[in-house]
């Protein structure tokens, strides 16, 4: 990386860029995570007790989660729901990405991408709240379905996890579309034509030609979507019912309502470990490395 920057900008500027990146990574990523880990292994003490005999490393904060069946259930539900959000987002995004990369004309693709991006110029909370209005019991979606005669009574979309899943798929769809789009766009269209000319149907062409080529993009999109879904707070807080709490809401409660930063740090670190494990699993399933994902 340094040699590439050196050739382009010169040694002093390249060193400055690398230094700024290192400062950002250390100060904004590594040190906060290390501090969180340190907090997670210490008890929640009064200021006068810090540095005293009680101020020692312990696993009590982690044991609390595994001893609390409600929090543990929410933890596993959050992981499973995040996987489901990732799968649904992939199902929705793949056809769109393929259309933009190989079917649409450049003008159509530019217009479609613009229509996708414009809503994301608005704050995430406002976009999520718009879905709250759309999915409300007396909202426009229920009114439309009633008018079309598709339902006989309004549906409570915001009761349970349905609204949360819809909101998250919408919120993170661009993080799935763009990596897949970039991967498919680099595929030589002649390979698709050759497969079709040799008698392969569209399903077989996608399975044997397009998807194998797009694996790095699919893996990147899945990783980004899962990480964002598992760490989301605004969407489940606005679109979820009391029975559909997200694990991030529990972490928030420990930090800002319970005032127990140590317990919140333990919960947050466990969620981080699961997310890292998911990244490793996706890389193994799709047989891609960090270099493939970074391209």
d(CA 170, CA 240): 15
Q: How far is CA 206 from CA 35, 45, 146, 173, 211, in A?
A: 46, 58, 38, 21, 6
Domain count across the chain: 1
Q: Is residue 138 included in any domain, yes or no? A: yes
pLDDT in tens, 141-196: 889 888 888 888 888 888 778 888 999 999 999 999 999 999 999 888 888 888 88
CATH of the domain at 259: 1.10.3720.10
Q: Is residue 35 included in any domain, yes or no? A: no
pLDDT in tens, 246-258: 899 999 999 888 8
Domain that holds residue 98: 60-294
Mean pLDDT of 115-134: 87
Q: Is residue 26 included in any domain, yes or no? A: no
Within 8 A by CB and 6+ apart from 163, the residues are 131, 132, 135, 157, 239, 240, 241
4's enclosing H/E stretch is helix 2-9
**pLDDT over 70 percentage in the chain:** 94
Mean pLDDT of 263-276: 92
Q: Is residue 7 included in any domain, yes or no? A: no
- pLDDT attached to residue 293: 65
**pLDDT over 90 percentage in the chain:** 31
* 50-54, 213-217, 235-239, 287-291: least confident range: 287-291
Q: Is residue 6 included in any domain, yes or no? A: no
Mean pLDDT of 118-132: 87
What tokens does 8 get?
Answer: 């382009």
Q: Is residue 34 included in any domain, yes or no? A: no
Lookup result for tokens 């996608």: 206
Q: Is residue 234 included in any domain, yes or no? A: yes
Q: Is residue 51 included in any domain, yes or no? A: no
């Amino acid at each position: 990386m340094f040699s590439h920057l050196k050739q382009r900008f010169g040694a002093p500027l390249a060193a400055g860029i690398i230094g700024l990146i290192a400062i950002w990574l250390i100060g904004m990523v590594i040190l906060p995570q290390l501090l969180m880990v340190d907090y997670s292994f210490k008890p929640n003490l009064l200021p006068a007790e810090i540095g005293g005999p009680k101020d020692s490393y312990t696993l009590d904060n982690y044991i609390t989660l595994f001893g609390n069946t409600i929090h543990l259930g929410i933890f596993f539900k959050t992981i499973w729901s995040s996987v489901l959000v990732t799968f649904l987002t992939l199902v929705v995004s793949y056809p769109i990405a393929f259309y933009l990369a190989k079917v649409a004309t450049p003008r159509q693709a530019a217009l479609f991408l613009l229509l996708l991006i414009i809503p994301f110029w608005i704050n995430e909370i406002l976009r999520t709240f718009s879905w709250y209005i759309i999915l409300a019991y007396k909202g426009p979606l229920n009114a439309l379905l009633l008018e079309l005669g598709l339902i006989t009574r309004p549906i409570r979309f915001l009761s349970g996890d349905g609204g949360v899943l819809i909101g998250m798929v919408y919120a993170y769809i661009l993080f799935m579309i763009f990596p897949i789009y970039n991967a498919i766009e680099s595929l030589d269209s002649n390979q698709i034509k050759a497969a079709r000319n040799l008698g392969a149907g569209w399903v077989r062409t996608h399975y044997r030609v397009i998807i194998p080529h797009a694996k790095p993009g699919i893996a990147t999109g899945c990783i980004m979507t899962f990480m964002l879904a598992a760490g989301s707070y605004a969407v489940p807080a606005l679109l979820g019912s009391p029975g559909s709490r997200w694990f991030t809401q529990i972490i928030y409660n420990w930090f800002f309502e319970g005032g127990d930063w140590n317990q919140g740090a333990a919960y947050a670190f466990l969620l981080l470990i699961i997310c890292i494990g998911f990244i490793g699993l996706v890389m193994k399933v799709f047989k891609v490395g960090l270099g493939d994902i970074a391209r």
